Protein backbone atom coordinates (compact mmCIF):
# COMPACT_ATOMS: atom_id res chain seq x y z
CA UNK A 1 0.00 0.00 0.00
CA UNK A 2 2.64 2.56 1.01
CA UNK A 3 6.41 2.66 1.04
CA UNK A 4 8.35 2.33 4.30
CA UNK A 5 9.01 6.09 4.61
CA UNK A 6 5.32 6.91 4.19
CA UNK A 7 4.38 4.32 6.78
CA UNK A 8 6.89 5.73 9.28
CA UNK A 9 5.57 9.27 8.81
CA UNK A 10 1.96 8.10 9.11
CA UNK A 11 2.82 6.10 12.24
CA UNK A 12 4.44 9.13 13.88
CA UNK A 13 1.46 11.35 13.00
CA UNK A 14 -1.09 8.85 14.30
CA UNK A 15 0.90 8.37 17.52
CA UNK A 16 1.06 12.13 18.01
CA UNK A 17 -2.67 12.54 17.31
CA UNK A 18 -3.57 9.78 19.76
CA UNK A 19 -3.28 12.22 22.66
CA UNK A 20 -6.09 14.74 23.26
CA UNK A 21 -3.67 17.35 24.61
CA UNK A 22 -1.57 17.23 21.46
CA UNK A 23 -4.71 17.52 19.34
CA UNK A 24 -5.70 20.56 21.43
CA UNK A 25 -2.29 22.16 20.83
CA UNK A 26 -2.60 21.57 17.08
CA UNK A 27 -6.14 22.99 17.12
CA UNK A 28 -4.93 26.09 18.96
CA UNK A 29 -2.09 26.60 16.49
CA UNK A 30 -4.58 26.15 13.65
CA UNK A 31 -6.98 28.71 15.13
CA UNK A 32 -4.48 31.30 16.36
CA UNK A 33 -1.35 30.78 14.29
CA UNK A 34 2.23 30.40 15.51
CA UNK A 35 2.64 30.60 19.27
CA UNK A 36 5.13 30.23 22.09
CA UNK A 37 4.84 27.72 24.92
CA UNK A 38 3.69 30.55 27.21
CA UNK A 39 0.98 31.65 24.76
CA UNK A 40 -0.23 28.08 24.34
CA UNK A 41 -0.29 27.56 28.12
CA UNK A 42 -2.42 30.70 28.48
CA UNK A 43 -4.91 29.36 25.93
CA UNK A 44 -5.05 25.74 27.09
CA UNK A 45 -5.61 24.03 30.44
CA UNK A 46 -2.04 22.71 30.51
CA UNK A 47 1.13 23.81 32.25
CA UNK A 48 4.04 25.21 30.29
CA UNK A 49 5.98 22.05 31.12
CA UNK A 50 3.12 19.93 29.79
CA UNK A 51 2.90 22.01 26.63
CA UNK A 52 6.68 21.71 26.12
CA UNK A 53 6.54 17.93 26.54
CA UNK A 54 3.75 17.60 23.98
CA UNK A 55 5.44 20.01 21.57
CA UNK A 56 8.57 17.86 21.66
CA UNK A 57 6.51 14.89 20.46
CA UNK A 58 4.78 17.02 17.83
CA UNK A 59 8.21 18.23 16.65
CA UNK A 60 9.42 14.64 16.45
CA UNK A 61 6.38 13.74 14.32
CA UNK A 62 7.08 16.74 12.09
CA UNK A 63 3.67 18.29 12.78
CA UNK A 64 5.19 21.52 14.12
CA UNK A 65 8.44 23.37 13.60
CA UNK A 66 10.26 25.63 16.04
CA UNK A 67 11.42 29.08 14.99
CA UNK A 68 13.80 30.87 17.33
CA UNK A 69 12.53 34.31 18.24
CA UNK A 70 13.54 37.19 20.42
CA UNK A 71 15.63 36.13 23.41
CA UNK A 72 14.92 32.53 24.36
CA UNK A 73 11.39 32.60 22.96
CA UNK A 74 10.55 29.98 20.39
CA UNK A 75 7.47 30.15 18.19
CA UNK A 76 5.87 26.93 17.05
CA UNK A 77 4.37 26.68 13.57
CA UNK A 78 2.17 24.00 12.05
CA UNK A 79 3.70 21.83 9.35
CA UNK A 80 1.19 20.31 6.97
CA UNK A 81 3.45 17.84 5.14
CA UNK A 82 3.24 14.96 7.63
CA UNK A 83 -0.52 15.44 7.98
CA UNK A 84 -0.89 15.19 4.19
CA UNK A 85 1.10 11.94 4.25
CA UNK A 86 -1.21 10.56 6.94
CA UNK A 87 -4.28 11.69 4.96
CA UNK A 88 -2.95 9.93 1.86
CA UNK A 89 -2.32 6.81 3.94
CA UNK A 90 -5.92 6.91 5.21
CA UNK A 91 -7.29 7.58 1.73
CA UNK A 92 -5.45 4.54 0.37
CA UNK A 93 -6.75 2.45 3.27
CA UNK A 94 -10.28 3.69 2.62
CA UNK A 95 -9.98 2.78 -1.06
CA UNK A 96 -8.89 -0.72 -0.04
CA UNK A 97 -12.02 -1.01 2.12
CA UNK A 98 -14.49 0.52 -0.33
CA UNK A 99 -14.85 -2.58 -2.52
CA UNK A 100 -15.43 -5.08 0.29
CA UNK A 101 -17.79 -2.69 2.10
CA UNK A 102 -19.86 -2.10 -1.06
CA UNK A 103 -19.99 -5.87 -1.61
CA UNK A 104 -21.11 -6.41 1.97
CA UNK A 105 -23.79 -3.72 1.64
CA UNK A 106 -25.06 -5.25 -1.61
CA UNK A 107 -25.14 -8.70 0.00
CA UNK A 108 -27.00 -7.45 3.07
CA UNK A 109 -29.50 -5.50 0.99
CA UNK A 110 -30.20 -8.52 -1.21
CA UNK A 111 -30.83 -10.81 1.77
Domain ranges in the chain? 4-110
Dihedral sign for Cα atoms in the order 4, 85, 93, 15: positive
How crowded is residue 63: how many other Cβ atoms within 10 Å of its Cβ?
A: 25
The pLDDT tens digits of the residues spanning 18-74 come to 999 999 999 999 999 999 999 999 999 999 999 999 999 999 999 999 999 788 899
Q: Domain 4-110 maps to which CATH number in 3.40.630.20, 2.102.10.10, 1.10.10.10, 2.60.120.310?
A: 1.10.10.10
Determine the pLDDT at residue 14. Answer: 94
pLDDT at 88: 87
74-106: pLDDT as tens digits: 999 999 999 998 888 888 878 877 777 777 888
Give pLDDT, residue 89.
Answer: 82
Amino acid sequence: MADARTELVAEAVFAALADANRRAILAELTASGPATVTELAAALPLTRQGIAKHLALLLEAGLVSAEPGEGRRVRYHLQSGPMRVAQQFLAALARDWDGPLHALRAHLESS
